[in-house]
């Protein structure tokens, strides 16, 4: 056997929230053959398996995981230029922001607004990460995934990925393990700078025509100002922005005239979860023991040091209940809860 199966591995250090129990079994895999071997082992032992990337969007429960945690560490980045565009093939285990930094350095537009998003390329595809008006699905050409039902790899073209708001075919179907993604980036692009915080940044800097590097610097500055730094444990934005009907929005707007929203397609409105938590729930900087919300951004739940997974889940439930009672809006977690 080419893979090393560990037993009773602590999972808390492998996630950015820094909470949770142990995995009964744990393995790191670096290529498709090792993934195949790990999945086969799980089938033989009749245990569940869970796919872990960078652990930036995963909350591990107190009891840990009773099966096999497979940590994806498939690496490699290659570039192929064709006319005005460049195909970038990326291993699922590559750190996402390393990819963005290298793309900007090479003068390639398309993912600069996704700077400083934590986690790996594989996790980015599964979640269809988005920030400051951009989403990863906009630049995906194709995704290679290992199908644990057929035990073969399959290539999904952009439309087949079913990328939506923090959604994809890979998130809905856990038997698909992302192994590689191909992006199409461009040598000549236009800055996506209409997002409120981005516009404000360039106005203050008196930059009227931001360059590619200006865009990355802006996003990094904005995110750094909002995001907690170590030793605080966090999984980033804990809840999705709820999408409601136009009718539901009009009801909310009547009660909360300053409610913050984003476009969400015909007859739908995306409500700012951060605004709800901050202005309606009063949760910005809230603290219950060592579990709390960040003082600069209510949407971010933080572990101040000794909070347990139970503490974090309890806080999340308290927030959901409060917002539901005050607005009628149901919040849904963006963070993935590892089953026990």
Which of these CATH numbers, 3.90.1150.10, 3.20.20.70, 3.30.43.10, 3.30.1300.10, describes 6-72?
A: 3.30.43.10
Pair of tokens at residue 212: 């590619």
Residue 240 confidence (pLDDT) above 90: yes
Beta bridge partners of 301: 293
Beta-carbon neighbour count of residue 202 at 10 Å? 17
Taking Cα atoms as reference points, which of 209, 237, 258 lies closest to residue 301?
A: 237
Q: Are 215 and 193 in contact (CB under 8 A)?
A: yes
The pLDDT of residue 11: 97
Q: Considering the entire predicted model, what is its pTM?
A: 0.94
SS3 content of the chain, % helix, strand, coil (to 5): 30, 30, 35
| Active-site position among 112, 237, 284, 322 | 237
Positive or negative: CA dihedral 98, 215, 190, 260: positive
Is 144 annotated in the active site? no
Residues of each domain in the chain carrying CATH 3.30.465.10: 77-186
The average pLDDT across 193-203 equals: 95
Residues of each domain in the chain carrying CATH 3.30.43.10: 6-72
The pLDDT of residue 65: 98
Residues of each domain in the chain carrying CATH 3.90.78.10: 233-328
| Active-site position among 73, 144, 217, 334 | 334
Q: How far apart are CA 224 and CA 289, in angstroms?
A: 25
Taking Cα atoms as reference points, which of 7, 8, 10, 74 lies closest to residue 36?
A: 74
Taking Cα atoms as reference points, which of 219, 152, 202 lies closest to residue 179?
A: 152
Q: How far apart are CA 303 and CA 308, in angstroms?
A: 8
Residue 231 confidence (pLDDT) above 90: no
Residue 1 confidence (pLDDT) above 90: no
Taking Cα atoms as reference points, which of 142, 133, 77 lies closest to residue 110?
A: 133
The average pLDDT across 72-91 equals: 97
Q: How far apart are CA 155 and CA 168, in angstroms?
A: 14
Q: What is the CATH number of domain 233-328?
A: 3.90.78.10
CATH topology of domain 77-186: 3.30.465
The average pLDDT across 89-97 equals: 98
| Active-site position among 166, 180, 216, 284 | 166
Residue 45 confidence (pLDDT) above 90: yes
What is the separation of C-alpha 117 from the centre of its chain, rounded to a whole number of angstroms? 7
The pLDDT of residue 217: 98
Q: Are 334 and 57 in contact (CB under 8 A)?
A: yes
Is 166 annotated in the active site? yes
Is 237 annotated in the active site? yes
């Amino acid at each position: 056997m080419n893979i090393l199966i560990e037993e009773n591995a602590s999972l808390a250090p492998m996630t950015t929230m820094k909470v949770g129990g142990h995995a009964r079994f744990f393995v790191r895999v670096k290529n498709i053959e090792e993934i195949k071997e790990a999945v086969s082992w799980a089938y033989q032992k009749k245990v569940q398996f869970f796919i872990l990337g960078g652990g930036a969007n995963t909350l591990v429960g107190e009891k840990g995981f009773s099966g096999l945690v497979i940590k994806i560490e498939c690496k490699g980045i290659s570039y192929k230029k064709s006319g005005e565009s460049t195909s970038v093939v990326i291993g699922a285990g590559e750190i996402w922001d390393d990819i963005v930094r290298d793309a900007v350095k090479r003068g390639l537009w398309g993912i600069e607004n996704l700077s400083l998003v934590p986690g790996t390329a594989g996790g980015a595809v599964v979640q269809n990460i988005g920030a400051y008006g951009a989403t990863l699905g906009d630049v995906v050409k194709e995704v290679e995934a290992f199908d644990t039902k057929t035990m073969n790899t399959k290539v999904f073209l952009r439309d087949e990925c079913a990328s939506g708001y923090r959604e994809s075919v890979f998130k809905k179907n856990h038997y698909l393990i992302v192994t590689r993604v191909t992006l199409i980036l461009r040598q000549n692009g236009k800055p996506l700078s209409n997002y409120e915080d981005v516009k404000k940044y360039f106005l203050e800097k008196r930059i009227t025509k931001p360059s590619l590097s200006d865009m990355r610097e802006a996003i990094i500055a904005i995110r750094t100002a909002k995001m907690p730094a170590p030793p605080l444990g966090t999984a980033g934005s804990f809840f999705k922005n709820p999408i409601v009907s136009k009718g539901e929005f009009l009801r909310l707007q009547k009660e909360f005239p300053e409610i913050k929203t984003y476009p969400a397609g015909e007859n739908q409105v995306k409500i700012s979860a951060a605004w709800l938590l901050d202005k309606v729930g009063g949760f910005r900087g809230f603290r219950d023991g060592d579990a709390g919300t960040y003082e600069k951004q209510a949407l971010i739940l933080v572990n101040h040091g000794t909070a347990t997974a139970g503490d974090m889940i309890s806080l999340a439930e308290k927030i959901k209940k409060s917002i539901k009672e005050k607005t009628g809006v149901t919040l849904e977690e963006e963070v993935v809860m590892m089953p026990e």
